[in-house]
Structure 1
């Protein structure tokens, strides 16, 4: 234990006093822009209501970015800085990710505050795609929850290093140690606490730094005075045990710490910090900080942790794809300002001055007035204005360097486009977007609003990377599908168009009404069923048509086989023909016919998935064979084989997590069983039961009202798409009858 000493460090951001952990004034920010080692691009992510936006508000205040702190939901008629939308302040949730930047200890920090609600997970996806590190915020009572699992998977997908922050330690029932254990057990993190709370619930006073063996108190007005002193005597045993636990977890991933641990020697604070940093960058260790943002405890030490443990842009392995070399991965050189410019447009917004494009720069320098090229369209565009975003406000800049995040106006592009200076063939990898599983129709309430409604649809289609549009060959409707990992995403219908969106019906309806003065009417949700074959089937199909003059002729022979495993959601075409019975120039037409046939199955009109079309032989006519003939032959072959291959209907299965008080556990489980659900696990802790189940999405409509009734309004649930699987025979029969009836109408 350290000798008695007090290192009082008073941060006076407004007065400009200098201390050990004082924030640097923003006026000096321009000098930092060229030092890539002093840049941090971080996201703040978590389950809904874990305190992300409140934490970001405190970060901005303590770093001098804002002069006053405001609360979520706008109780003071102002609202949190990062919730700039009126709807966000009214609902008390983050809907769209917001970007800002600030400085701390001579480091420039770009922050993206992401939504925690399940319906806006695509916002987290697009943020993590361009970030170098993240702060995973966990509620000290709720711990690892359903959306925490989703965020963790996204971080792993993009290999984003993270540190943990157990927030809300002032809440009744707070238990940071239990939350840390959940990180290890549920998320498989090698996690350990680097801080201990001094008191919990309403008795929390500060934290203990396990690395330096110091107590840290946050005193004065709004916790601005950070005082380090000796740890409380009654915590010495707990601190010693937790510090040994921290060293043990580090010893598993760091040889130097392992040697000291085996020899019984105490590592120095500098050795521990370096070991933690190395392990965080390698994603083999997660340090856990504690505090309560609402009560202004632990935020400054978390900021220190961001600088000490999360990577600078040049410490992250980033790759681009070379379009001239079969999309070979090419390492990005962020440290070379002379390298060709490379940037990724990861988000679009419609602002008051037009389309606002958020850009992450990966290589080179971008200056106001430069000409850059869209790698997707090869169009040359001029950069008329460069800004750095602070929520809804912006500040003009003349140039940005590799590793920074900026925004531009006046660019004709879509979300996910890569921009270069025209001297390179590199392009960035796109982000992951899951397939749709549900849709919902909507149309304008008044026919006079069609123009406004269409304008809104065009805007959201342009700025959202999740839209997928195609033309229905029978109804001639334009079908558009978007990301929907959850039940509450929906699809919009107007005139002959379908439009899908990532937001909840209520949120989207309100945005349409407020921003476009366009009230809407929603229809019945529609589940994304799929069809597949369960048995292999050979085909020998001849398309023959004579109508005077040159006709059509195409014969295809082969086999269609079902797929399983990772390929179960795909359709695959394979050419195994030998010789010239079918000229090679007709093979693409056969594949086109196969894929067209898979767009609408014969049972319910749903897309076909999980099959492989193996073309083995066929025949062509010297005069009558053409692309159209072989396209029709491909379509006919699928229809011929599919009907005989024991076709079945697949339905989306949702992973559902329900949190209810113990006394309602039996009733809720009974309700899940009635909905054809399978209980996978249940866990009881401190008066609450967490029930995990798998339930067909088609059986989950109306569950929110049912759960409220079963639990007196005390239960909550979240769900996530997991896979498609077979429907029950009676359900398949009902779906087929419903489809046949719709065809006769």
Structure 2
């Protein structure tokens, strides 16, 4: 499903891809999402439309930082999950260790449904070749077919040749039944009636697993090695058995405007309601809009209405997606996803209904878009290339809402802002190679933020200018203050609060010299006035006074507005509010903010001191905690007993005493730190040099923090030197 050239070159997933297929007489719509932090918007908009998810974990790396981020995204939407611990065939794989990390780092209740089968090969190394299903007590062996198509099943009984291993299997199934009995009343009644753990049938356990998964109380855990196709078929069975169908999910609530809501029921006879969650630009077909249909049926050639932009659209063609291949279909039914060709203006997060539907203000909850932290300048190499560059940027911007494009008013340069170095690198590659744009792309820089550190209680600003021969005049009073440190740390564009008190006509003042006839010529409603003030404030928040970066962490309160009859147009009011806020921030000790990253470095014990010294000294970071990535000991077993979560030991049961000779890696340490993003540029190569390649790291945006005066002076000097 990684069909893009950039994905195949780098060996990673960059954009989410969809495919539809059948399994056990069920229809499955699968969306494959990236794991890299720079492409978190792909996860966000995919999770928004999913009914359930499979969280894939690396058996060697365990629960990584980005895994925690994605898990939090799924928590926000209440998505039921199952977990698949992959790469069990690699040296250092730890199934039990990863299960324990799931409980500790993801704050969830993992339920082990399989135990990996390991053996030693001729060279004395561990070899993963199958799993034991704890529900049926069957050994699933993929050893007969290198392509993983043929599964040999063997029932394990009490006369199994390895009694130590058999006891571990008994323990695993006992713990599974007991855990389900705590979470589900029905399985508890069955267990009490049977009086034995082993007498609880596999079908009863499956039904209980489905109930606790749908309720979000626990997460079934499976394992395998996808490279060898080991464990894939049981995982597909688990998707059908435990994850919800659209009918099992709560009906979404849509906004009807003016505080009203409507529940969108999953019925094909109801009016159409669909959400556009992704846009892809195809060289031959143009824009393809991926939609999830929540009610009704989306038919080919149907006239649609986009309630977000209040515009009519037409579905010229409907497609069923198979990664980069397509199949034309006559309709997209309720609960399914598909792609629509012909929508000219629809973007990510827009709601689509039938053109004849009277609910013109109906909107499904939109999709959260993260704030960019890097930017670079892009310029066409000649005047003739300006239009192709503009069209290419328009198409990329429509595809990727986490990408921002704007023009610097001082330099006149076009600036592209993205989520990270790799994000902008992919954009650059696509501009030059996919869209064939002849352009020069400047050095990558960090997108800082600005704020005001002092409080300004009352600033009155008079806007009085002549524009195109007509006088525009308005006066506003506003105050600004800083939000709390917690609010200031929110790494998003929306971390400001705007409070308008211009909601009562008594608060609107008119100049005494203005005649009553002239006052009547204003003809602006309170809603229009509020909208103009808010629009002006938002435009001023987009550009700070120091270096032109967006303002954040501010509480802005507009509490008085003076009108001057017909001269106080909406444009005059908006410009007055904008310039008033700019003046207020300049007078309230403006300061620069820089993005702080939450960094996790996995490193061997021998290099621990070097890594900590580099993070806290050279990179101006603050080490938060240290963690040991171990295989389990007496203390770990005691904690597991207290928390009542079962995880099998990671070494082979028969050959456990020979762990040192079986290629199992030694425990590593994980360093958690908060580090300024500017200090993390080029950290991947630096870390390899420091640790001889024996370390890896992940980082995500933590928050925006105040920059020191010395650092701010250096940044200002660097930025004013040009892009």
How far residue 107 of structure 1 moved from its aligned partner, in angstroms, is: 0.8
Q: Which stretch has the larger CA shift, 280-289 or 427-436?
A: 427-436
Please report how far the alpha carbon of residue 377 of structure 1 lies from its aligned counterpart in structure 2 after TM superposition: 3.6
Compute the displacement of 1:122 (Å).
1.9
- Please give the secondary structure, in 2, of the residue aligned with 1:126: helix
1:71 alignment counterpart: none
CA distance in 2, matches of 1:101, 1:472: 44
The structural deviation recorded for 1:443 is: 3.6
Give the C-alpha shift of residue 446 in structure 1.
Answer: 6.8
Shift in alpha-carbon separation, 1:417–1:554, aligned structure 2, 3 A: closer
Moved more, 136-145 or 562-571: 562-571
Relative distance call for 1:606 and 1:350 in structure 2 (3 A) is closer
Structure 1 Cα separation of the partners of residues 553 and 264 of structure 2: 37
SS in 1 for 2:151: strand
Q: Tell me which residue corresponds to 2:635.
A: none
Deviation at 1:556, TM superposition (A): 3.5
1:654 aligned to 597, 607, 616, which one?
597
1:212 is matched with 136
Contact map agreement 1:550 1:623 (CA 8 A) in 2: no
State the shift of 1:238 in Å: 0.5
Alignment CA distance shift 1:242-1:520 (3 Å): farther
User: 1:544/1:397 Cα in 2 relative to 1: closer, same or farther (>3 Å)?
Assistant: closer
Counterpart CA distance in 1 for 2:465 and 2:338 is 62
Residues 553 and 620, structure 1, Cα contact 8 Å, conserved in 2: yes
Number of residue-to-residue matches in the alignment: 643
Q: 1:677: how far off?
A: 0.6
Q: Unmatched 5+ residue regions in structure 2? A: 120-124, 489-494, 511-525, 630-665
Indicate if the aligned counterparts of 2:392 and 2:437 stay in contact, CA closer than 8 A: no
Superposition deviation, residue 313 in structure 1: 0.9
| Alpha-carbon distance between aligned partners in 2 of 1:170 and 1:105, rounded to the nearest angstrom | 28
> Paired residue for 1:466, among 393, 402, 409?
402
Equivalent in the alignment of 2:56: 137
Secondary structure at the aligned position of 1:607 is classed as: coil
- Rounded to whole Å, the distance in 2 between the matches of 1:546 and 1:384 is 49
1 CA distance for matches of 2:338 and 2:582? 51
C-alpha deviations, 1:413-456, integer Å up to 9, x for none? 32332221232523322211111122122345677654543332
Q: Distance in 1 between matches of 2:557 and 2:144?
A: 74
SS of residue paired to 2:67:
helix
Q: Does the CA contact (< 8 Å) of 1:679 and 1:694 recur in 2?
A: yes
Alpha-carbon distance in structure 2 between the residues aligned to 1:660 and 1:195:
30
1:401 and 2:333 aligned? yes
Pair 1:358-2:358 in alignment: no
Q: Give the deviation of 1:216 after TM superposition.
A: 2.2
Counterpart for residue 512 of structure 1 = 431
- Displacement of 1:244 in angstroms is 2.4
The equivalent of 1:731 in structure 2 is 711
Match 1:297 to one of 226, 230, 234: 230
Secondary structure of residue in 2 paired with 1:322 = strand
Following superposition, the deviation at residue 185 of structure 1 comes to: 0.3
Deviation at 1:469, TM superposition (A): 5.2
**DSSP 3-state at the match of 1:205:** strand
Structure 2 counterpart of 1:224, from 149, 154, 170: 149
Q: Say whether 1:442 aligns with 2:386.
A: no
For the residues of structure 2 that align with 1:357 and 1:633, how far apart are their CA atoms? 39
- Corresponding residue for residue 237 of structure 1: 167
SS in 1 for 2:613: helix
Distance 1:471 1:85, change over 3 A: closer
Asked whether the equivalents of residues 545 and 590 of structure 2 are also in contact (C-alpha less than 8 Å), the reply is: no
1:636-680, Cα deviation, whole Å (9 max, x unpaired): 543454344343321111111222333222222221121111112
Q: 1:205 to 1:472 in 2, by over 3 A?
A: closer
Report how far residue 362 of structure 1 moved.
1.4
How many angstroms does 1:321 deviate by? 1.7
The CA distance in 1 between the partners of 2:306 and 2:465, in whole Å, is 48
CA distance in 2, matches of 1:513, 1:740: 28
Task: Give the 3-state SS of the residue equivalent to 1:223 in structure 2.
Answer: coil
Greater RCO, 1 or 2 (C-alpha within 8 Å, sep 6+)? 2
Separation of aligned partners in 2, 1:531 and 1:651:
9
Query: Residues of 2 paired with 1:632 and 1:399: CA distance?
Result: 48
Per the alignment, residue 371 of structure 1 pairs with 303
**1:168 counterpart residue number:** 87
Question: Counterpart of 2:280?
Answer: 349
Q: Please state how far the C-alpha of 1:237 moved relative to its aligned partner.
A: 0.9
- Alpha carbons of structure 1 residues 715 and 279: separation in structure 2 relative to 1, 3 Å: same
Aligned residue for 2:28?
109
CA gap 1:572/1:141 in 2 versus in 1, 3 angstroms: same
Q: Secondary structure at the match of 1:199?
A: strand
- Structure 2 CA distance for partners of 1:516 and 1:599, relative to 1, 3 Å: closer
Q: 1:141 to 1:530 in 2, by over 3 A?
A: same
The residue that corresponds to 2:248 in the other structure is: 315
Partners of 1:295 and 1:649 lie apart in 2 by 51
Structure 1 CA distance for aligned equivalents of residues 464 and 384 of structure 2: 48
Q: Give, in whole Å, the separation in 1 of the partners of 2:391 and 2:583.
A: 43
String of CA shifts for 1:452-472, please: whole Å, max 9, x gaps: 433322221222233445565
User: Aligned partners of 2:570, 2:384: CA distance in 1, in Å?
Assistant: 44
For 1:713, the equivalent position in structure 2 comes to: 693
Q: How does 1:266-281 map to 2 (within 5 A)?
A: 266=197, 267-281=200-214
| TM-score normalised by structure 1 residue count | 0.79
Per the TM alignment, residue 296 of structure 1 is displaced from its structure 2 partner at its CA by 2.6
Contact 1:539 1:637 in 2 (8 A): no
CA contact (8 A) 2:113 2:134 kept: yes
